Amino acid sequence: MTTHTDTPGSVTTVYKVTGMSCGHCEGAISAEVSEIPGVTSVKAVASTGEVTVVSTSEPDDEAVRAAVDEAGFELAGRA
């Protein structure tokens, strides 16, 4: 599990997602995850299968799972 705070009041969490293969995939996941309350930044990287989420508090893993699922991909867990 990778979670740390970069700036006061923010938490950065890295997740592994299966099925990403291109920039469109990255955009779809980023758009869905960014809708989660408290999320301030999302960066999805298809080449590594990692999605980095910066939020105001510890993210709800089930909310992230649901958002990734809505985008058409599978959350494998935290990196």
Q: 25-50, pLDDT tens digit by residue? A: 999 999 999 999 999 999 999 999 99
Domain 2-78 sits in CATH at 3.30.70.100
CA 25 to chain centre: 12
Strands 50-55, 74-78: pairing is unpaired
Domain boundaries in the chain? 2-78
Q: What dihedral angle (degrees, nearest 10) is formed by the CA atoms of 57, 62, 65, 66?
A: -110
Helix (H, G, I), strand (E, B) or coil at 47: coil
Mean pLDDT estimate for the chain = 92
Report whether pLDDT(19) > 70.
yes
Q: What is the reported pTM?
A: 0.89
72 CB-near residues (< 8 Å, 6+ apart)? 19, 28
